[in-house]
């Protein structure tokens, strides 16, 4: 027998999946389908694919935000340079991206013999 919280959770999930019918993810469905097929994932339910695209979008957003924060910390640490912040554009560097992805357990560092 399901508890009250489990029933409420299933109801919320069902409502969320209904909302996914009208949701157009930022990541194109063709791209999502391609990478899901590459991973061996087979599903005919478009809502599930959109849910995975939404999760991917959230992950990319979180990584980009973290990389931006690493960039800001690095820029503040090197304030002795005579550049004003409005004169410089923020550029995503591999150093910042590597640090941000490391928080999620993704290692993109080059092996030491390439350094």
pLDDT for 83 equals 56
In this prediction, residue 86 carries a pLDDT of: 60
Question: What is the mean pLDDT for each group of 10 consecutive residues in the chain (115 residues)?
Answer: 84 86 89 96 91 94 96 82 64 92 91 71
Domains held by the chain: number:
1
Task: Count CB neighbours of 6 within 10 A.
Answer: 10
Distance CA(47)–CA(92), nearest Å, equals: 32
Measured CA to CA, the distance from residue 24 to residue 78 in angstroms comes to 41
User: Can you give the pTM of this predicted structure?
Assistant: 0.76
Give the Cα separation of 1 and 23 in Å (integer). Answer: 33
What is the per-residue pLDDT for 28? 94
Q: Tokens for 24, please give them.
A: 């157009």
Q: HSE of 61 in the Cβ direction (CA atoms, 13 Å)?
A: 8
Look up the domain containing 95 and give its range: 4-114
Predicted confidence at residue 14, as pLDDT, reads 85
Q: What is the pLDDT of residue 80?
A: 59
Tell me the Cα Rg of the chain: 20
Q: What CATH number corresponds to the domain at position 86?
A: 1.10.20
pLDDT at 63: 97
């Amino acid at each position: 027998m399901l508890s009250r919280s489990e029933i409420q959770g299933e109801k919320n999930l069902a409502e969320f999946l209904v909302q996914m019918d009208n949701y157009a993810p930022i990541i194109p469905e063709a791209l999502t389908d391609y990478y899901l097929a590459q991973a061996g994932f087979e599903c005919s339910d478009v809502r599930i694919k959109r849910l995975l695209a939404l999760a991917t979008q959230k992950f990319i957003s979180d990584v980009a935000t973290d990389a931006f924060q690493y960039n800001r910390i690095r820029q503040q640490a090197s304030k002795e340079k005579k550049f004003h912040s409005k004169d410089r554009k923020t550029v995503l560097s591999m150093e910042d991206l590597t640090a941000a992805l490391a928080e999620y357990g993704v290692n993109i560092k080059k092996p030491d013999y390439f350094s």
